[in-house]
Structure 1
Amino acid sequence: MKLKITFILALFFIGFTSAQTKVGTVNSELIIGKMPQMKGVLQRVENYGKQLDSSFQVKATEYKEKVNSFKAEEKLMTDDDKKARIQELRTLEQEMGKFRQNGTAMMQLQKEQNMRPLYKKLSEVIAEVAKANGYTQILTTTGNEFGYIDERFDITQLVLDKLGIKE
């Protein structure tokens, strides 16, 4: 008899705890891509990239001029002058390589800084929708792998509606 009561209590407890949990999913990348502010972010990042490109072009032009100057004057130079000019060209090449690497990192940083307000707003709206609909957890569908997702609990459309974004 004790075993039956324990079993019934265990079933009741399991049913009670699972009834309190409501898990939903959201496709945050889809929503971010559809937010009207995204166009402005992409434009600012593109403009920043153009600034970096123009700075790089100045360095590239300077490098080409020095290479052409070296080629034109190479026959008239002493060995010490050649070594010094070759070292100068190598230094410029290294600087250009560092500039490229830094430029890539700066572009990524610029994009992240511009995207931060969008993700903050999305996070706030997801929290509002989740609370209003009684969800205890919301998982993002992008970047994660799920064996099964019940589409009834996907709040992507609710978040899009709350943001006023039409498909």
Structure 2
Amino acid sequence: MKIRFLIIAFILTSISFAQTKVGTINTEYIISKMPEFKEVQKKLETYGKTLDAGLKEKFDEYQEKVKAYTEKESTYTESLKKLKQKDIVKLEEDIQKLRTNSGKLLQVRQDELLRPLYNKIGNEVDKIVKEEGFTHIFNETNSLIYIAPEYDITIKVMKRLNIPVEETAAQN
């Protein structure tokens, strides 16, 4: 029993003395410099225009129904008025849902399109972590206050992905 306790204590002590090496990366900066990012932006813009067109179509339909209703309201029976009003209210709700869902759909599409770029970066980060013995990598966009520049692997990842590195970025 004492031997087990000593072995466990030794292992825990060894683990606590293991050296920690922390690095940082700015994935947003890397993605903004990737050639594929321009294509992602174009696809998102096209998708956004498609969503906007669907919304505009519904809004135009809504305006036509409101106009027709106001012009002919006096000729409608009470039951027809209620039916037309119900139809207009449903269109208002549909437009509101489309507005809400458009933003969510655009975000989902953006995530789908950016996932391969993040995967590429992740693969290179994994290689650098193994080669250089990092124990932690933090993304700079998550409010990191300070880290010494020599621990920033952003430029290393960009070079491995054959992304042109600007001189000012390489110096930072």
TM-score normalised to structure 1 length = 0.82
User: Counterpart of 1:17 in structure 2: which amino acid?
Assistant: F
Which residue number in structure 2 is paired with residue 43 of structure 1?
Answer: 42
Work out the number of aligned pairs and report it: 152
- CA shift at 1:151, angstroms? 1.5
Q: 1:152 aligns with which of 133, 150, 153?
A: 150
Alignment of 1:122-161 (within 5 A): 122-146=121-145, 148-161=146-159
Please, which runs of 5 or more residues in structure 1 have no aligned partner? Answer: 1-12
TM-score normalised to structure 2 length = 0.80
Counterparts of 1:162 and 1:138 in 2: how far apart (Å)? 17
Counterparts of 2:26 and 2:77 in 1: how far apart (Å)? 66
Alignment of 1:52-63 (within 5 A): 52-63=51-62
Which residue number in structure 1 is paired with residue 102 of structure 2?
Answer: 103
Alignment of 1:72-83 (within 5 A): 72-83=71-82
Which residue number in structure 2 is paired with residue 162 of structure 1?
Answer: 160
Aligned residue for 2:101, secondary structure, equals: helix
- CA shift at 1:77, angstroms? 2.1
Which residue number in structure 1 is paired with residue 3 of structure 2?
Answer: none
The alignment yields a C-alpha RMSD, in angstroms, of 1.9
Counterparts of 1:48 and 1:130 in 2: how far apart (Å)? 37
Please, which runs of 5 or more residues in structure 2 have no aligned partner? Answer: 1-12, 167-172
Counterparts of 2:35 and 2:129 in 1: how far apart (Å)? 22
Percent identical across equivalent pairs? 37
Which residue number in structure 2 is paired with residue 17 of structure 1?
Answer: 17
